Chains A and B, each alone.
Chain A
């Protein structure tokens, strides 16, 4: 008997077009399913249907049947399914309940009635499995996005669920942490449905691939067959869009010299950093979580003043923050984009079209999916054509086809005489230079950052 079965599932959120249409599939014990599909295709909704949150939490029109471990989700509430099913949502900041990391991981175990003597050992094992044991006593509010994501993963793993639902679980993790996490998932032996835009990583792990588009399953096949199908039908999903490009010799657009910064005394994030970016050049800042990529990007954009050193920008800098979908300020997408160009809706419309969101011009930004919001935020920053465009993790929640389009657009943008700086874990973006930031930890957990190229 299958662990979970979805039969002819259709679902629409209240006052919205169908998000899922006639989906049928079965999940077996121990299999790892990669759930792929463009932004807004219904992946997150399908995951929510498997955890019972659709329809119980969201309302809407639901037809068909979803049965998980013998429980029909129409009758069983999500809280009853918890433990059998565990979910890691896209945004780690929105799922943290407790103040201290260990308590956060213990929260689900307490809710499920785990014997008290077992709780702390299970918390310890779960944190260790995602290399986050050192975060045990830290306050959740003080963690970086990547650290928080690891804590959320540990919270799910601690439940030892039979079905683990992961919605972009490694979007804020560096390569090493993501590999560690996937190794932990593989060791679990539990059934996993993994929605992930970093396709090579998902295909490496998955035994089966389900591709969803427009709320329908367009492919359900073993991983090997799926690779061939993707290569033939969706080439953007099987080939990374990295391109080797020639270094530019344009004038210097951004110059950072001997810059240092510490959020807390004796904990320098950046220590004497030098960076020069020329017009026509794309420079990628890489490095593990906590290495100072975002700090350097914010200093370059003039949003953070360095405690030592000098920053010079030739012209104007534009900055796209990490998780920009959270920080949209207007009530229509076109107004959001037009804000930076004195409410010129013609330019804003063209910018929306470039990111494939012309159809959403009059929609409320918060009605868009996370990937669509990211693209909207990019359009809102790029519309004014800043001389130095600084992007912080711009591919989070963006599907491979859109990522390829973003890569091409960045190349065009740089070729038009602008400088581009991208802080990212994602190696699928084009770059003239990649700069590695690194972080070391002493036994006393005092971090010292240094820069290497």
Chain B
């Protein structure tokens, strides 16, 4: 499938996850997106899956304590904490927590599928007048694996000197060099792009294969998914 229609399908899945109020619908969407992400190579998908699943889990665990619903069946009666209020858990709170957790996870997985499986170059090429913006988005997307690689390199560089990084504090010391490294990389990349004529007038595009019937079907399906989400879900 061409990346344009695939991106439209993923965007529709993300929008549907945000719009729907039905737990089964957003849960199904999450499972489908997870299955799509599992098609990516294991070593590349792990950081995205970890991010998506832990964020969703975080919402599921924390939000019943941070938000109170007056209705529903009381499942557990906790203490009253200043600022947070009563730490009760009700069925309504659990339902909302699960719904929001699935929504967030589905959204993160849709982004993961976009980052891991789509040909961003063809998306840039298909972007027409917005080519520069599309390129900026594609480069920003690539920042995730670059940062991951740099983080591994920094940790190895320190461990290679016989210095152990322990706990969150140990790894936190790598944040500043990680940021400095990304800025340096961004400057170098900008320099290389300028040297290769980026920003010149009169650019052309390398010929790309036309859309197939499956691509057209995917675009129609994306539109239908959003309509269904708005009207029935």
* A6 contacts the other chain (CB 8 A): no
Question: How distant is B123 from chain A, measured CB to nearest CB, in Å?
Answer: 9
* B188 contacts the other chain (CB 8 A): yes
For A337, the closest partner residue in chain B by CB is B161
Question: How distant is A151 from chain B, measured CB to nearest CB, in Å?
Answer: 13
B181 touches A326 (CB 8 A): yes
B43 touches A263 (CB 8 A): yes
* B79 contacts the other chain (CB 8 A): no
For B145, the closest partner residue in chain A by CB is A141
- The number of residues on chain B lying at the interface, defined by a beta carbon within 8 Å of a beta carbon of chain A, is 51
Q: How far is the CA of A366 from the CA of B183 in the complex (A)?
A: 11
Q: Which of A287-338 contact B (CB under 8 A)?
A: 298, 301, 303, 316, 318-321, 323-324, 326-330
A95 touches B194 (CB 8 A): no
Q: Which of A106-130 contact B (CB under 8 A)?
A: 106-117, 119-120, 123
A115 touches B204 (CB 8 A): yes
Q: How far is the CA of A422 from the CA of B79 in the complex (A)?
A: 62
Contact flags (1/0) for B185-210 with A, using CB distance below 8 Å?
A: 10011111111111110111111000
* A221 contacts the other chain (CB 8 A): no
For B174, the closest partner residue in chain A by CB is A329
Q: How far is the CA of A110 from the CA of B189 in the complex (A)?
A: 17
Residues of chain A contacted by B205 (CB below 8 angstroms) = 110, 116
For A101, the closest partner residue in chain B by CB is B121
Q: Which of B106-139 contact A (CB under 8 A)?
A: 119-122, 124-125, 135, 138-139
Choose among A57, A99, A381 the residue that contacts B142 (Cβ–Cβ < 8 A): A99
Most buried by A among B121, B138, B181: B121
* B167 contacts the other chain (CB 8 A): no
B198 touches A111 (CB 8 A): yes
Residues of chain B contacted by A339 (CB below 8 angstroms) = 158, 161, 163
A97 touches B189 (CB 8 A): yes
* A98 contacts the other chain (CB 8 A): yes
* B157 contacts the other chain (CB 8 A): yes
Q: Which of A379-432 contact B (CB under 8 A)?
A: 380-381, 384, 386, 390
Residues of chain A contacted by B145 (CB below 8 angstroms) = 141
Choose among B41, B161, B188, B191 the residue that contacts A264 (Cβ–Cβ < 8 A): B41
* A79 contacts the other chain (CB 8 A): yes
* B78 contacts the other chain (CB 8 A): no
Question: How distant is A406 from chain B, measured CB to nearest CB, in Å?
Answer: 18
* B82 contacts the other chain (CB 8 A): no
Choose among B124, B157, B189, B200 the residue that contacts A321 (Cβ–Cβ < 8 A): B157
For A304, the closest partner residue in chain B by CB is B156
* A149 contacts the other chain (CB 8 A): no
- The number of residues on chain A lying at the interface, defined by a beta carbon within 8 Å of a beta carbon of chain B, is 68
Choose among B154, B157, B161, B206 the residue that contacts A109 (Cβ–Cβ < 8 A): B206
Known: A326-B181, A329-B157. A97 touches B139 (CB 8 A): yes
A99 touches B184 (CB 8 A): no
* A368 contacts the other chain (CB 8 A): no
Choose among A53, A93, A298 the residue that contacts B195 (Cβ–Cβ < 8 A): A53
Known: A97-B139, A340-B163. A113 touches B157 (CB 8 A): no
Question: How distant is B182 from chain A, measured CB to nearest CB, in Å?
Answer: 11
Residues of chain A contacted by B195 (CB below 8 angstroms) = 51, 53, 78-79, 82, 85-87, 89
Residues of chain B contacted by A97 (CB below 8 angstroms) = 135, 139, 189, 192-193, 196, 198
Task: Report which B residues bind A (CB closer than 8 A).
Answer: 41, 43, 119-122, 124-125, 135, 138-139, 142, 145-146, 150, 153-154, 156-163, 173-174, 177, 180-181, 184-185, 188-200, 202-207
Identify 10 residue pairs between A and B in the complex whose beta-carbon atoms are under 8 Å apart, listed by A's number. A51-B195, A53-B195, A80-B200, A82-B194, A100-B119, A115-B204, A159-B196, A298-B156, A340-B162, A380-B161
Given contacts A89-B195, A94-B185, A116-B204, 14 further A-B contacts (CB under 8 A): A57-B194, A80-B200, A82-B200, A94-B192, A97-B139, A99-B119, A99-B120, A103-B206, A112-B200, A303-B160, A318-B162, A327-B150, A327-B156, A329-B173
